[in-house]
Amino acid sequence: MPLLILDRDGVINQDSEDFIRSLDDWHPISGSLEAIADLSRAGYRIAVATNQSGLGRGYFTRSQLEEIHASLCREVEALGGEIQGIFYCPHLPGEACGCRKPATGLLSAIESELGETLLGAPCIGDSLRDLQAARACGCRPILVRTGNGEETLAKLHSRSPEISDPLAIPVYPDLATAAAALLDS
């Protein structure tokens, strides 16, 4: 079964400059949960890779984060899908850990834990760091315009030196549209 990796904030759910601190702050983007369920039912093994520095900043507890993730999984399951795992980096941007995207530790953990190769796996994100991590692991980066996607798209169009061959990255309005394209291919 093919592996598919998703970023969380800005791809699956609305993002916030104030961080998603509790289940009350967590609001799925229209069509995203259905898209995950559709992909899962079509045979994709879905994993989520998300930077969660709000944990390291003390904005929320591990218990609150796990409550959000449990709710996400339950909602997808209610639609007939399954998320194989949610992998997160709790570190602050300046901590120089190996897991905070654009580093590849989260993606490597997914590969190891799920026993699936990352090579060629679609990796859907809204930020440059998502695309960079995907490329570094041999995944197929896909950009959505939700969340930070418009800002990231502007960087790609300016041919940002931070990512090679930026115009080769497919861009979709949202996760639902990206999922439909993957299912049609």
Q: Is 10 left (phi over 0), alpha (psi -120 to 50) or beta?
A: left
Q: What is the pLDDT of residues 81-128, one digit of tens each?
A: 999 999 999 999 989 899 999 999 999 999 999 999 999 999 999 999
Phi, psi angle pair for 100, to nearest 5°: -70, 120
Can you list the domains of the chain with their CATH numbers? 3-184 (3.40.50.1000)
Cα–Cα distance measured from residue 21 to residue 159, given in angstroms and rounded to the nearest whole number: 34
Q: What is this structure's pTM?
A: 0.94
DSSP H or E segment with residue 29: none
Catalytic residues: 7, 9
